[in-house]
Amino acid sequence: MKALKELLAVAQEAVAIGSKLMLKDGPGGVHLKGDRDLVTDMDIKIQEQVRTFLEEKTPDFNFLGEEQGGGSVDESEEFVWALDPIDGTSNFAHRIPLCASQLALIHRGEPVIGVITAPFLGLNYYGSKGGGSFCNGEPINSSSVTEIDRAIVSIGDYATGSGAAKKNERRFAVTRMLAEQVERVRMWGSAALDLAFVADGRTDACVILANKPWDTAAGVLIAREAGALVVDATGVRHDFSSTATIATAPGLELALLDRLR
């Protein structure tokens, strides 16, 4: 098996395929794959090209991609790549620059490599287990904010599809609580950017009431390596069985989780 350093280089090269395509071409056809859930021709194109590249470089690794029906992480699997070709597809389709291509390598249920590239923002995040996290080649660290009323907190998208109304009751309650207690609430429309911005200290926490491996694995690794805490809504260490993905500066964990409960 290649060392993590070599595999990180493979992941960076793979994600660069997606970012270059996003910059070069528009979304192409835009299609509904569910209730208010879009997929573009570019999503499919990036996923096909990245998967082909990864199969050539790491033929023994498995692959999960959002645009091929997704799937779940099996902790018995040695290595699996998890790709979201365009995280923030609705933003991309509407020419909003808050979107990213992201890839993680998961080893026995735990992310060990994460790469997130936001091409329209000029931001390239990456990290590996035990190796720290970086943006555009510079080390990054999570925020040192400790007071909830000084915190900028982003929230994940509201739910769509089956059962959305019920799911959104909790999301509305969380939004209201945050709006009344933190400095500012933000919604980027991209889980990759939610987690990367916490890692980079641009925001102080994020609350994503969902947890798909292609959406969260890369950002979870990058956030943890930058010193952020990543847990579920009960405060237990986040894994792929969690129903929420909450990343926070270390000094905010207790205050934020108390309010979420």
The answer to whether the beta carbons of residues 22 and 119 sit under 8 Å apart is yes
User: With bands split at pLDDT 50, 70 and 90, how would you rate the model's confidence at 35?
Assistant: low
Q: Domain 148-260 belongs to what architecture?
A: 3-Layer(aba) Sandwich (3.40)
Element (H, E) at 22: helix 4-24
Residue 69 pLDDT: 65
Tally helices (H) and strands (E) across the chain: 7, 14
- Which residue, chain included where needed, has tokens 């029906």? 69
The answer to whether the beta carbons of residues 242 and 202 sit under 8 Å apart is no
Residue 73 pLDDT: 80
Residue 38 pLDDT: 73
Distance in angstroms between the alpha carbons of the first and the last residue of the chain: 43
Report angle CA 89, 241, 2 to the nearest 5 degrees: 75
Mean pLDDT, the chain, rounded, equals 93
Residue 1 pLDDT: 53
Q: Which of 1-15, 33-47, 126-140 has the highest mean pLDDT?
A: 126-140
Residue scoring higher pLDDT (73 or 43): 43
- Determine the CATH number of domain 4-139: 3.30.540.10
Phi then psi dihedrals of residue 20, to 5 deg: -65, -40
Least confident of 52-56, 144-148, 159-163, 198-202: 159-163
Residue ranges per structural domain of the chain: 4-139, 148-260
Q: What is the pLDDT of residues 49-106, one digit of tens each?
A: 999 999 999 999 999 998 866 667 877 789 999 999 999 999 999 999 999 999 999 9
Q: How far apart are CA 169 and CA 171, in angstroms?
A: 6
Q: How far apart are CA 50 and CA 53, in angstroms?
A: 5
Q: How far apart are CA 125 and CA 2, in angstroms?
A: 21
Read off the DSSP letter of residue 237: B
| 253, amino acid identity | E
Residue scoring higher pLDDT (30 or 168): 168
